A and B are shown apart, each in its own frame.
Chain A
Amino acid sequence: DIVMTQTPRSLPVTPGEPASISCRSSQSLFNSYDGHTYFDWYLQKPGQSPQLLIYTLSYRASGVPDRFSGSGSGTDFTLKISRVEAEDVGVYYCMQRIAFPYTFGQGTKLEIK
């Protein structure tokens, strides 16, 4: 199975400040046949189920504010929030879907200072 490793595990942030979460995969998530990177970010807000945030490396899901951006290549990926807001609290998960079984990272808990 492809192992997804996230850092940091906990991220306290002051509102209005930027935040960054990293994720590394044990194998490349780039598909050379179609040129896509099969890597996504999800956010699980307190008491809710996960919601899609960023898909195929850098595409924002419907309704996701443009303060969220995804980048990276191959095995190293980053989620950036340009200015954190109170509603961004929760656990962020990275996920690979280039191969079965689809696998998630352990999560990064973002909290407001």
Chain B
Amino acid sequence: EVQLLESGGAFIQPGGSLRVSCVVSGFTFSSYAMSWVRQAPGKGPEWVSGISGSGENTYYRDSVKGRFTISRDNSKNTLYLQMNRLRAEDTAVYHCAKDKYYDSSGLFDIWGQGTMVTVSS
């Protein structure tokens, strides 16, 4: 069974840093691109960042470029999102999502349940 399990969400002050993780099982992790998609309370999903199967290619939305870094450790079947200089508008549930292809296509066939990140003073 394919599973994506996020962790690392927390309550953090503006300007702080946090790393969230996603451990996967049930498929060959290195063969697929992955993304982080966030969902603010009561809002629709918002794609944040994506990474190819090898980790060679990374993609970001403009509002997080220079602040967030996506990475993966294929030996540990784990996806990461390092978030720095956090802002109140980054508050959301962060889902990891499996892409259907090796490089980012945006076709998300499996989603994790998410981990909550709250940025507030």
Q: Is B59's CB under 8 angstroms from A49's CB?
A: no
B109 within 8 A of A: yes
A30 within 8 A of B: no
In which size bucket is the chain B interface?
10 to 19
A51 within 8 A of B: yes
Q: Interface of A with B (CB < 8 Å)?
A: 38, 40, 42, 48-52, 55-56, 61-62, 91, 93, 95, 97, 100-107
Q: Given A101-B61, A107-B44, are A49 and B113 also a contact pair (CB < 8 Å)?
A: yes
Q: Is A38's CB under 8 angstroms from B111's CB?
A: no
Q: Is A61's CB under 8 angstroms from B109's CB?
A: yes
Q: Is A49's CB under 8 angstroms from B114's CB?
A: yes
Q: Given A49-B112, A49-B114, are A97 and B107 also a contact pair (CB < 8 Å)?
A: yes
- For chain B residues 17-39, which have a beta carbon within 8 Å of chain A? none
Q: Is A50's CB under 8 angstroms from B45's CB?
A: yes
Partner of B47 from A38, A48, A102, A105 at Cβ < 8 Å: A102
Task: Write 14 A-B pairs (CB below 8 A) sorted by A numbering.
Answer: A40-B107, A49-B113, A49-B114, A50-B45, A50-B95, A51-B111, A52-B108, A93-B44, A93-B45, A95-B45, A95-B106, A97-B105, A100-B61, A104-B47
- Closest A-chain residue to B48, C-beta based? A101
Interface of A is mostly: loop
Report the minimal beta-carbon distance from B51 to chain A, rounded to whole angstroms: 13
Kindly name the residue among B47, B62, B108 whose own CB sees the greatest number of chain A CB atoms within 10 A.
B108
Which 4 pairs from chain A and chain B are nearest by CB?
A97-B106, A101-B61, A49-B111, A102-B47
Residues of A contacting B114 in the complex (Cβ-Cβ under 8 angstroms): 49
- A52 to B57, alpha carbons, bound, how many Å? 24
Residues of A contacting B95 in the complex (Cβ-Cβ under 8 angstroms): 49-50
- Closest B-chain residue to A52, C-beta based? B109
Q: Is B106's CB under 8 angstroms from A104's CB?
A: no
Q: Is B44's CB under 8 angstroms from A104's CB?
A: yes
